[in-house]
């Protein structure tokens, strides 16, 4: 294919400041593919790392963020026969380093060489260049073929869904027949509702504060909507679980009350999964946790190849990305896209940048 020598990309120049630059189009290494980006979804972590660089992030002026993207394979590394030119693909952010003990045991999202590029670590959009660009290079370990019945726009949300599925895999066991509380009707929360349903949850409670967002939860398959400003969520959930609390609680809101409320919504011997996190240390009642033998899991990223599961569930129509995509902007409009996302203008949930 005809690949230009230079491409346009949104480079992080200063806190919160992206500029569209012309830079050299990257070339794939031996086990990489070059992807022409179709769409890259804005994620809350983009906002965070653009405001204040995360550990391992390249310096201002040299870094292209964006980790939830999809596109078309336009060049192959010399050893690659897993993909073909023209393949429509989704990605996961984390390659890892391939040589620390965590990567060796399959826990590459928790790479012990995180951010050490000299050791081979790559996490596109975090420590290496990401998807707010016309082209991006991915190791094949982070690339997934997209079936025909999924659009590339939807495929941008595979990373998001993969993260939720990695959370469910981390919990262990079946979800079928369990009651599940999801806290926070943001993108991860709405996806969690869908995944809980897809895995056979008996009933799903969605907790939030904004009525219009909760309503979208209904379409996502929540059985109960709880506006925590109006209703005591603990009483509500206990009332519908024979006084026991939920088998699983998924906290995605990242609010300061989140972890402690999650523990109190959980039944004895139940499990809590944290996907959203408060920005600073917050109090939690560990005594209650212990008295009720609750285990508290956290996940970072879309680990253990769960993007594979995400794509399959999308293909089967069991999780739907389309309703979460509310806006799209061209690459040159990226700053406006971030504004809309941050201000939730027009009920913005997922905002796509289309390079």
| 3-state secondary structure (DSSP) of residue 352 | strand
Q: How far apart are CA 251 and CA 267, in angstroms?
A: 15
Binding characters for a copy of itself, 175-214, by CB under 8 A (x = yes): -xx--------------------xxx-x------------
Applying CB under 8 A, among 131, 303, 337, 355 the residue interacting with a copy of itself is: 303
- Packed helices 187-198 and 211-220: angle between N→C axes, nearest 10 degrees: 30
Residue 77 CB, nearest distance to a copy of itself (Å)?
11
Query: In the bound complex, what is the minimum distance in angstroms from residue 102's beta carbon to a copy of itself?
Result: 5
Smallest gap from Cβ 60 to a copy of itself, in A, equals 21
Please state, in angstroms and rounded to a whole number, the distance separating the CA atoms of residues 246 and 267.
5
Shortest spacing between CB 64 and a copy of itself, in angstroms: 22
**How many angstroms separate the CA atoms of 209 and 94, rounded?**
32
Q: Which of 218, 269, 322, 346 binds a copy of itself (CB under 8 A)?
A: 269
Beta carbon nearer to a copy of itself, 301 or 355: 301
Residues with Cβ within 8 Å of 243's Cβ and at least 6 positions away in sequence, in order, are none
* Interacting residue with a copy of itself among 13, 47, 296, 348 (CB under 8 A): 296
- Structure token digits, residue 20: 């569209």
Binding window for a copy of itself (CB under 8 A); candidates: 1-9, 35-43, 303-311, 320-328:
303-311
Closer residue to a copy of itself, CB minimum distance, 73 or 165:
165
* Nearer of residues 181 and 305 to a copy of itself, judged by Cβ: 305
According to DSSP, residue 124 is labeled B
Question: Can you tell me the distance from the alpha carbon of 17 to that of 10, in angstroms, rounded to the nearest whole number?
Answer: 9
| DSSP states of 180-218 | EEEE--SHHHHHHHHHHHHTT-SEEEEEES-HHHHHHHH
Who contacts 82 (Cβ-Cβ below 8 Å, separation ≥6)?
140, 143
- Residue 326 C-beta: closest distance to a copy of itself, Å: 26
**Quick one: 279 exposed, middle or buried, by C-beta within 10 A (0-12, 13-18, 19+)?**
exposed
For tokens 């390249």, what's the residue? 58
Answer whether 325's CB lies under 8 Å from 337's CB. Answer: no
Q: Which of residues 304-333 bind a copy of itself (CB under 8 A)?
A: 304-305, 308-313, 315-316, 318
Per rule CB under 8 A, is residue 238 in the interface with a copy of itself?
Answer: no
By CB atoms closer than 10 A (0-12, 13-18, 19+), residue 84 is exposed
User: Number of residues in contact with a copy of itself, rule: CB under 8 A?
Assistant: 80
Tell me the closest approach of the beta carbon of residue 273 to a copy of itself, in angstroms. 10
274 binds a copy of itself (CB under 8 A): yes
Provide, rounded to whole angstroms, the least separation between the CB of residue 163 and a copy of itself: 11
Q: Which residue has the tokens 């660089």?
A: 53
Residues 109-168 that bind a copy of itself (CB under 8 A): 109-112, 114, 118-120, 140-141, 165, 168
* By CB under 8 A, residue 281 contacts a copy of itself: yes
- Least Å from the CB of residue 164 to a copy of itself: 11
DSSP run (H or E) holding 246: strand 246-251
The footprint of a copy of itself on residues 26-65 (CB under 8 A) is 31
Instruction: Please select the residue that binds a copy of itself; options are 151, 231, 292, 326, rule is CB under 8 A.
Output: 292
Q: Work out whether strand 266-274 and strand 295-298 pair parallel, antiparallel, or are unpaired.
A: parallel
**84: contact with a copy of itself by CB under 8 A:** no
**Region from 11-19, 94-102, 148-156, 320-328 binding a copy of itself, contact rule CB under 8 A:** 94-102
Q: Residues 140, 33: contact at Cβ < 8 Å?
A: yes
Shortest approach of a copy of itself to residue 98 CB, angstroms? 6
């Amino acid at each position: 294919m005809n690949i230009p020598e230079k491409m346009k990309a949104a480079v992080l120049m200063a806190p919160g400041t992206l500029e569209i630059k012309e830079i050299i189009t990257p070339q794939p290494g031996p086990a990489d593919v070059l992807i022409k980006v179709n769409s890259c979804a804005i994620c809350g972590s983009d906002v965070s790392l653009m405001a204040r660089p995360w550990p391992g992030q390249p310096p201002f002026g040299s870094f292209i963020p964006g980790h939830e993207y999809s596109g078309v394979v336009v060049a192959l590394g010399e050893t690659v026969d897993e993909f073909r030119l023209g393949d429509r693909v989704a990605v996961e952010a984390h390659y890892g380093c391939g040589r620390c003990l965590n990567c060796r045991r399959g826990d590459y999202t928790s790479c012990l060489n995180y951010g050490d590029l000299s050791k081979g670590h790559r996490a596109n959009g975090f420590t290496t260049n990401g998807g707010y660009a016309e082209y991006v290079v991915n190791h094949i370990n982070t690339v997934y073929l997209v079936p025909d019945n999924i659009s590339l726009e939807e495929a941008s949300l595979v990373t998001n869904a993969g993260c939720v599925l990695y959370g469910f895999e981390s919990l262990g066991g079946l979800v079928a027949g369990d009651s599940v509380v999801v806290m926070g009707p943001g993108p991860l929360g709405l996806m969690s509702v869908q995944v809980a349903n897809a895995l056979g949850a008996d009933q799903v409670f969605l907790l939030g504060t904004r009525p219009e967002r909760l309503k979208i939860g209904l379409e996502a398959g929540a059985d109960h909507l709880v506006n925590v400003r109006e209703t005591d969520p603990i009483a509500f959930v206990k009332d519908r679980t024979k006084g026991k609390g939920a088998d699983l609680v998924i906290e995605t809101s990242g609010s300061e009350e989140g972890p402690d409320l999650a523990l109190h919504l959980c039944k004895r011997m139940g499990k809590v999964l944290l996907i959203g996190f408060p920005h600073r240390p917050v109090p939690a009642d560990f005594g209650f946790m212990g008295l009720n033998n609750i285990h508290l899991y956290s996940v970072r990223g879309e680990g253990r190849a769960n993007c594979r599961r995400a794509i399959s569930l999308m293909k089967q129509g069991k999780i739907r990305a389309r309703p979460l995509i509310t806006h799209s902007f061209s690459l040159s409009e990226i700053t406006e896209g971030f504004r809309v996302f941050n201000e939730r203008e027009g009920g913005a949930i997922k905002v796509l940048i289309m390079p």
